[in-house]
Amino acid sequence: MTSQSSSVSNDEEVTENETPGAGSVPIDTSSGPSTTSDSESVSVSNQAAGTSIMLSSVTFSETGWVAVRDDRGWTLGAKRFDAGTQSNIAVTLLRATEAGQRYQVLLYIDDGDRLFDVKKEILVTRSDGSVAGAMFSAQ
């Protein structure tokens, strides 16, 4: 697996990981830590392709991360959020989305170090077993 990271001091870190399994491909929640919660949520609409995405809203009950993944499972970018609800928030990506492609927005609870690592962050799942998140298409 190849990984590239860049961080912004204490605010956000984005990481691009070449790992399989996102988009329409089921996510293996047994390979890393996960937590069950129906409190966290994210809303995103289809939008123009580019180097950032706009979230309509995001809600966390504690500090968490929104990560954007492509259909091959590569994390294009992530942004950290404090507990609460925020609206109309941009997430900067390391690699641009492409028109005609679908992307997945996943929610993670921060592991306490305030740096995004897809292998260490705690993936949020719902009480019904589904992964917390949303899909959108780039146009």
16-59, pLDDT tens digit by residue?
333 333 334 455 544 567 778 889 999 999 999 999 999 999 99
- Does the domain made of 3-8+16-22+33-137 have the CATH classification 2.60.40? yes
63-108, pLDDT tens digit by residue?
999 999 999 999 999 999 999 999 999 999 999 999 999 999 999 9
Burial code (b: 16+ CB inside 10 Å, e: under 16) for 61-99 equals: eeebbbbbbbeebbbbbbbbbeeeeeeeeebebbeebee
Cα angle 33, 43, 13 (rounded to 5 degrees) comes to 50
Could you tell me the residue ranges of all domains in the chain? 3-8+16-22+33-137
